Amino acid sequence: MTVNHVPVSMLRIMNRQIFCLIIVLAILIVSGCSRPAEPPKALTVSEATVPAGMGSEEPNLSAAADGRVFLTWLQPAEPDGYKMMFSVRDDKGTWAEPKMVAGGTNWFVNDADFPSMTVLSDGTLAAHWLGNNEPGSEAYDVNIAMSHDGGATWSKPVVPHRDKVKSQHGFVSLVPGPGGQLNAIWLDGRNAPEEGEGDMALMHTTVAADGTLGPEAVLDKRVCECCQTSATTTSDGLLVVYRDRSEQEVRDIALVRYANGMWSQPEPINKDNWEIDACPVNGPAISSSGQNVAITWFTGAEEKLRVYTILSTDGGKTFGKPIQVDDGKPNGRVDVLSLQGGGALVSWMERGDQGRAQIRIRRVDAGGAVQPSVTVTGDSGVRSGAFARMERAGNQALIAWTDSGDEPRVRAAIINF
């Protein structure tokens, strides 16, 4: 039998070729073998029909864990009152027949301080509205009611603040808590009974599903008087953002956290150093998706109007650098949705052609890249003092606002992103 021997030099060449082939295959596997990443899909907007009628105003949106979206709004009622209404959108995009939460003639109604609704972990609905506590004045109370039957009936409202001072209490954020509890955050004027005198504080309490109130907590004893609050939860706890107010009238955005049974001290999310001796009526917005958190806010620091967004991937413990998202002429009035893959969807009001107020939206990618903006509102525009609200609706987003026609009306649009 004849045995053929391969020369040693040939074996070395073959080994080098095999080694090079392995390296090339590894590079192809790591790089995905091939195609460059597809560019982000452009945002598209289409008008959505909502069951709010003529005269409706002050819309707000919230989402349940099962994908349903709740739209609330105010509807004028004869002779001089209002009704708080709501409707539910299912996962097929169908709106249910509207139902009433409450109604009255002594309500405090303001474009910037709007009612809201949220869904607790046990399915209980919680809603809030504002009622005057001193006829002919700017004093008003927060009212919170619960429903355990999908909104067919509602409990007698409770007032979360227990000071009984004839002053302003509002700019509420309602956030579901553990065990079927509700977190209520609001601006509290018990130490400022006279307009322009004293300090407005940021307060928190819990409300059980049966209406039982937890202890009150002062989160910040001196805040901007009439800017919206915003709150969200992550697996680490509750995050609240608001416009702070220093003794030198610097009114930048601050953050407080509730974790491990304790509230943190307020801390600025960015040192804009906006010094202004008046309330700009322009609060921040915060949203979370898992451990991703996004905050958006408006500032006029250095006499330049801007809208910024910052992102976090660790539940709000740390944030990246501010990303400017406006188109150069913003009026603020922001909202934000944190996206599952990171990044955020941002809405704000911009002065468009002929100074008309427009709602615009823009996606900020997880890496901070800013995509082109899209104008949501058409020729009719939006009421300049009103705020648009956004909420996730499955793989889309829903945005609602008060139209600026001859008679106000709530309108909405679907955002595909």
Residues 289-332 pLDDT 10s = 999 999 999 999 999 999 999 999 999 999 999 999 999 999 99
Q: Report the distance separating Cα 142 and Cα 120, nearest Å.
A: 19
The predicted-structure confidence for 109-165, as pLDDT tens digits, reads as follows 988 999 999 999 999 999 999 999 877 778 999 999 999 999 999 999 999 999 999
pLDDT score, position 52: 96
pLDDT confidence tier of residue 196, bands split at 50, 70 and 90: low
pLDDT score, position 396: 94
H/E stretch holding 12 reads helix 8-30
**Is the predicted pLDDT of residue 63 greater than 50, yes or no?**
yes
**Is the predicted pLDDT of residue 10 greater than 60, yes or no?**
no
CB 161 within 8 A of CB 170: no
pLDDT score, position 14: 47
pLDDT confidence tier of residue 18, bands split at 50, 70 and 90: low
List the beta strands (DSSP E) in 235-356.
Answer: 237-243, 253-259, 262-263, 267-268, 285-289, 292-299, 306-312, 323-324, 330-338, 344-351
Q: Report the distance separating Cα 297 and Cα 306, nearest Å.
A: 8
pTM: 0.90
Range 241-254 average pLDDT: 98
Q: What is the chain's Cα-based Rg?
A: 26
CB 412 within 8 A of CB 399: yes
Q: Report the distance separating Cα 339 and Cα 341, nearest Å.
A: 6
The predicted-structure confidence for 37-56, as pLDDT tens digits, reads as follows 556 678 999 999 999 999 99
